Structure 1
Amino acid sequence: MSGQNENFKVNVTSEIGRLRKLLIHSPDSGIGKVVPSKAQDWLFEDIVHLDTIRKDEYDYYLKLLMYFLDPDKIKGKLAAIDSEAANRGFYKPNHPNFHNSANVIEVQNLLADILKDEYIRKKLTAAVCAIEGCTYKLQLKLSSTEPKELAEIFISGTMADDTMIFAPIPNLIFTRDVGTTINNFVLLNKPAKKARVRETMLMRYIFFNHSFFEAYRGNVLEIPDPTQHFLRPGDEPEFRTTLEGGDVMMVAPNHVLIGVSERTSEEGANEAIKLLFENNVVEKVTVVKIPAKRDYMHLDTVFTQVKRDTWVILHSIAHSPVYDANEPIHFLKEPEKLETTTALQFHKNNPGQPKVFEHVEALLDDISRNDLGSKTPTQVIYSGGNVFPYDSREQWTDSCNLLAIKEGIVLGYDRNDKTVEAFKAKGFNVAKVKDFIADLESGKIDPETVTDTLILMPSAELSRARGGFHCMSLPLLRDDLVY
């Protein structure tokens, strides 16, 4: 993949512009080594079946992306790819039959590329071994390991002989969380959980050292800790500066949303705002504060954009209860303990006077009409059709975590039946991915002309990892919207 960087561009100005390049990571063997006693420490709710995720679920995701982003590698070749011998490798980065696309870009490939440089290989190996507490002898052994194999070891935690030497980083499949492309800048994360420290470091090395990003190294932004942060008491979450990519949305060329959540702190949002304004990246940042609960985790687990005038959202986040001092339960809980959602919009030219939105739905309407120039009434599709208990059940399995490949064409899980019905009620076509891919291969569907479709992806195992396709993508290049 190195050497294909002559025309490589990084630029994302919306959530829904036609997707051209993105970073992904195919499920690796480390996911198949998550054990029940460590699952929650490694941020998994359950142990999942690796082969099912790879062959029966993620494989469809890869193929669909290829038809839209790199059709020459798949169009007319689907039968050969689907043959038993070939398909074993389409989703395995080190396999001869792996797709190796320069548009659907595999993180593990980029890592292997930079590890070819002996200086970087030794430096990164030392850093990983320091984090993981490895012996010096193991460090020397890893430093002399072939780059492709070493990249796999760093991600899976497993040597070629299947010996585990440190924990896997199974969350790397959720590439969105390691960073966000904002115009032609990349804002890297600062993770809230120890389980994500190694993947964050690997991504930092990639963005600062891979030839793809050579022209953008000055545009990679890192969240700093405030001065003398080490004097803060303990390691309590309220004192930490954290920010994760799932809490950052590039909704318009001059507008970024940042969620304050279980994983992103007020301090992290504050440092991000300062970075974005000081570097003239955007003109306004809206901070959306959601309840700091595992149920929600990130901003993109409670809403995502479908079209410039259409959003999918959890109703309780769209319209949270307003504090009323005369309501006894509100008085007893105090304002900060209510499960409310607030939205404050800060402008670069006047950050001291933020605009307050009545509720999140009002914010989304403002983005659609005033940022994106929508001339039609803003449409809201509610998780589970806003019917209890399906609203919460389906949000938990990522009904609101959709990836737009282009405006109106979104990927979601097939298990969220009530949300699917809500999409149909708004006039969307609904297609199973297997049928959709068959129609792409036959030419019945043209990626350039297809409109308003929710593509249903198999989800029995992937949904148990607690992340949807918005989580499983880090867009690097989208077409600008035409206004």
Structure 2
Amino acid sequence: MSAQNENFKVKVNTEIGRLRKLLIHSPDSGLGKVVPSKAQDWLFEDIVHLDTIRKGEYDYYVKLLMYFLDPEKIKGKLAHIDSEEANRAFFKPNDPQFHNSQAVVEVQNLLAEILENESIRKKLVAAVAAIEGCTYKLQLKLVDTAPQELAEIFISGTLADDTMIFAPIPNLIFTRDVGTTINKHILLNKPAKKARVRETLLMRYIFFNHPYFAEYQNNIIEIPDPTQHFLRPGEETHYRTTLEGGDVMMVSPNHVLIGCSERTSEEGANEAIKLLFEQDVVEKVTVVKIPSKRDYMHLDTVFTQVKRNTWVILNSIAHSPKYNASEPINFLKEPERLEATTAIQFNKNKPGEPKYFEHVEALLNDISQNDLGCTEPTKIIYSGNNTFPYDSREQWTDSCNLLAIKEGVVLGYDRNDKTVEAFEANGFKVVKVQDLIQDLESGQANADTLTDTLILMPSAELSRARGGFHCMSLPILRDDLS
């Protein structure tokens, strides 16, 4: 196992501070094995073309992250990295020539490193074998498998001879959902779907066993099941304690948002609030209840932050739907009325005195003005430029799921044309990642001086997986806002 990096810090206190370290997982062979009959069980809307995702889309993401977070790994070397053989090695976690960045951190590498410890390897193999119902002989075979190969098997579900022994975990590319960094703590998820149980187990072992996180083991927060939950009737469908990272946002040093959604239950949010307050992690938690629909899935699919005073959001979530009882056909609007979004804020120092927000935009304005001290008016950029039907179409392809590399510099999909127009109307430069990478390599662009920019990322295949770059990132270190 690699030696502990004494400079490896964990701290995130906003969504937009300059990004310094994050966890990602590059698309693995398991994505290329998703079949139509199982796609939705594995939480995919469609099957994807693996080579296109790897070489034509995700690789640009990794390159861009390198220029911002670890430029020594890439600047001046781009031509070599782009050569066919070097390119394959640079992006392949188990290759000796893999980039192995300590800023753009590959989950599969961390997993392989903890598996070098025989005791950990035996325990994790036994746990995975139990979850997946493996035979004891297969369990013994996996224990004797080399750590790098075993890490790949755990993720892809496939042996070196291309034999599938259990399902892949294609959602691991969405590293945000396995946990959230809250100040110097890490809140682990409790998945709502069976398809994500194995990835949660793998990440738990990484956080508790990898030397990178040794100093933070007491800061890892796990969500328990309710006491004697196994005695409750209907446990499979009711009273489940679930929480996923896409529903958790660290918006200011003392304030966390938690979404109640298709994936995070009220019970999960409640347990998280109690633990965050008990351990003095934050002072405020605001719960935002969004419709429990596949269209939305997580809080970060309906809004994300761009700057202190700028947010991108789906308009129908921003304001509760209007309901007019005097209309003759008002009963048709009743289901819509029931999907109204609500936001309630709890303060550790004022128990029993929750604060209610009229709508989500009021909450975002309160964060910008009061938590982050903005003197400028809060700006809202709407998905699809708030134009039907592009608002819903582009939210479906993650127009609201943006990753801020630094304040005002965000990554989004190139297919969301109307949302791009809305960014331009709000004074943002728009640049294709292919062009920006060339400019960063040549010195015509500078990562430190780039401001107010929407970086467009190729998305033909990635968008089929239903998740943007906010989903595909688990920030573990950001700078404080000045």
Q: For the superposition of Structure 1 and Structure 2, which TM-score range results when normalised by the shorter chain?
A: over 0.9
Once residues 225 and 20 of structure 1 are traced to their aligned partners in structure 2, the CA distance between those partners, rounded to angstroms, is: 34
**Counterpart of 1:456?**
456
**Counterpart of 1:147?**
147
Once the two structures are TM-superposed, the CA of residue 373 in structure 1 deviates from its matched residue by 0.7
Q: Structure 1 residues 70, 162: CA separation in 2 closer, same or farther (over 3 Å shift)?
A: same
**Counterpart of 2:369?**
369
**Counterpart of 1:347?**
347
Once the two structures are TM-superposed, the CA of residue 233 in structure 1 deviates from its matched residue by 1.8
Once the two structures are TM-superposed, the CA of residue 139 in structure 1 deviates from its matched residue by 0.2
Once residues 87 and 467 of structure 2 are traced to their aligned partners in structure 1, the CA distance between those partners, rounded to angstroms, is: 24
Once residues 330 and 292 of structure 1 are traced to their aligned partners in structure 2, the CA distance between those partners, rounded to angstroms, is: 22
Deviations 1:317-340 (A, max 9, x none): 001225676677777876996111
- Kept in 1, the 8 Å contact 2:229–2:235? The answer is no
- Kept in 2, the 8 Å contact 1:330–1:338? The answer is no
- Kept in 1, the 8 Å contact 2:320–2:359? The answer is yes
| Paired AA for residue 296 in structure 2 | Y
Once the two structures are TM-superposed, the CA of residue 96 in structure 1 deviates from its matched residue by 2.8
Runs of 4 or more consecutive aligned structure 1 residues displaced over 3 Å after TM superposition: 235-238, 322-337
Secondary structure at the residue paired with 2:38? coil
Alignment coverage as a number of residue pairs: 482
Deviations 1:359-390 (A, max 9, x none): 00000000001001111000000000000000
Secondary structure at the residue paired with 1:47? coil
- Kept in 1, the 8 Å contact 2:323–2:337? The answer is no
**Counterpart of 2:401?**
401
- Kept in 2, the 8 Å contact 1:157–1:164? The answer is yes
- Kept in 2, the 8 Å contact 1:15–1:404? The answer is yes
**Counterpart of 1:424?**
424
**Counterpart of 1:194?**
194
| Paired AA for residue 54 in structure 1 | R
Once the two structures are TM-superposed, the CA of residue 97 in structure 1 deviates from its matched residue by 2.9
**Counterpart of 1:73?**
73
Once residues 333 and 54 of structure 2 are traced to their aligned partners in structure 1, the CA distance between those partners, rounded to angstroms, is: 46
**Counterpart of 1:225?**
225
**Counterpart of 1:43?**
43
Once residues 480 and 377 of structure 1 are traced to their aligned partners in structure 2, the CA distance between those partners, rounded to angstroms, is: 22
**Counterpart of 1:310?**
310
TM-score when scaled to structure 1?
0.98
Counterpart check, 1:110 vs 2:110: yes
Once residues 387 and 50 of structure 2 are traced to their aligned partners in structure 1, the CA distance between those partners, rounded to angstroms, is: 33
Secondary structure at the residue paired with 1:151? helix
**Counterpart of 1:215?**
215
**Counterpart of 2:24?**
24
| Paired AA for residue 458 in structure 1 | P
| Paired AA for residue 164 in structure 2 | M
Once residues 275 and 245 of structure 2 are traced to their aligned partners in structure 1, the CA distance between those partners, rounded to angstroms, is: 15
**Counterpart of 1:296?**
296
Counterpart check, 1:259 vs 2:259: yes
Once the two structures are TM-superposed, the CA of residue 420 in structure 1 deviates from its matched residue by 0.2
- Kept in 2, the 8 Å contact 1:323–1:335? The answer is no
Counterpart check, 1:90 vs 2:122: no
Once the two structures are TM-superposed, the CA of residue 348 in structure 1 deviates from its matched residue by 0.4
TM-score when scaled to structure 2?
0.98
Q: Structure 1 residues 332, 36: CA separation in 2 closer, same or farther (over 3 Å shift)?
A: closer
- Kept in 2, the 8 Å contact 1:254–1:282? The answer is yes
Q: Structure 1 residues 353, 211: CA separation in 2 closer, same or farther (over 3 Å shift)?
A: same
- Kept in 2, the 8 Å contact 1:259–1:290? The answer is yes
Once residues 37 and 257 of structure 2 are traced to their aligned partners in structure 1, the CA distance between those partners, rounded to angstroms, is: 36
Deviations 1:55-89 (A, max 9, x none): 00000000000000000000000000001111122
Once the two structures are TM-superposed, the CA of residue 3 in structure 1 deviates from its matched residue by 1.4
- Kept in 2, the 8 Å contact 1:17–1:479? The answer is yes
Q: Structure 1 residues 329, 171: CA separation in 2 closer, same or farther (over 3 Å shift)?
A: farther
Secondary structure at the residue paired with 1:373? coil
Once the two structures are TM-superposed, the CA of residue 95 in structure 1 deviates from its matched residue by 1.9
Once the two structures are TM-superposed, the CA of residue 240 in structure 1 deviates from its matched residue by 0.5
Once the two structures are TM-superposed, the CA of residue 448 in structure 1 deviates from its matched residue by 0.7
**Counterpart of 2:280?**
280
Deviations 1:408-438 (A, max 9, x none): 0000000000000000000000000000000
Q: Structure 1 residues 222, 328: CA separation in 2 closer, same or farther (over 3 Å shift)?
A: farther
Deviations 1:119-162 (A, max 9, x none): 00000000000000000000000001110000000000000100
- Kept in 2, the 8 Å contact 1:180–1:187? The answer is yes
| Paired AA for residue 74 in structure 1 | I
Once residues 327 and 231 of structure 1 are traced to their aligned partners in structure 2, the CA distance between those partners, rounded to angstroms, is: 47
Once residues 349 and 266 of structure 2 are traced to their aligned partners in structure 1, the CA distance between those partners, rounded to angstroms, is: 21
Secondary structure at the residue paired with 1:127? helix
Once residues 434 and 451 of structure 2 are traced to their aligned partners in structure 1, the CA distance between those partners, rounded to angstroms, is: 18
5+ residue gaps in structure 2? none
Once the two structures are TM-superposed, the CA of residue 235 in structure 1 deviates from its matched residue by 3.6
- Kept in 1, the 8 Å contact 2:323–2:333? The answer is no
**Counterpart of 1:183?**
183
- Kept in 2, the 8 Å contact 1:322–1:340? The answer is no
Secondary structure at the residue paired with 1:385? helix
| Paired AA for residue 224 in structure 1 | P
Q: Structure 1 residues 19, 329: CA separation in 2 closer, same or farther (over 3 Å shift)?
A: farther
- Kept in 2, the 8 Å contact 1:17–1:406? The answer is yes
* Stretch deviating more after TM superposition (86-95 or 447-456): 86-95
**Counterpart of 2:64?**
64
Once residues 210 and 274 of structure 1 are traced to their aligned partners in structure 2, the CA distance between those partners, rounded to angstroms, is: 27
Deviations 1:193-223 (A, max 9, x none): 0000000000000000000000000000000
Once residues 42 and 29 of structure 1 are traced to their aligned partners in structure 2, the CA distance between those partners, rounded to angstroms, is: 15
Once the two structures are TM-superposed, the CA of residue 237 in structure 1 deviates from its matched residue by 3.6
- Kept in 2, the 8 Å contact 1:233–1:239? The answer is no
% of aligned pairs identical? 82
Counterpart check, 1:162 vs 2:162: yes
- Kept in 2, the 8 Å contact 1:2–1:212? The answer is no
Q: Structure 1 residues 13, 242: CA separation in 2 closer, same or farther (over 3 Å shift)?
A: same
| Paired AA for residue 316 in structure 1 | S
* Stretch deviating more after TM superposition (322-331 or 145-154): 322-331
5+ residue gaps in structure 1? none
Once residues 381 and 241 of structure 1 are traced to their aligned partners in structure 2, the CA distance between those partners, rounded to angstroms, is: 33
- Kept in 2, the 8 Å contact 1:23–1:105? The answer is yes
Q: Structure 1 residues 277, 334: CA separation in 2 closer, same or farther (over 3 Å shift)?
A: farther
* Stretch deviating more after TM superposition (380-389 or 237-246): 237-246
Secondary structure at the residue paired with 2:352? strand
- Kept in 1, the 8 Å contact 2:89–2:96? The answer is yes
Q: Structure 1 residues 3, 329: CA separation in 2 closer, same or farther (over 3 Å shift)?
A: farther
Deviations 1:245-282 (A, max 9, x none): 00000000000000000000000000000010000000
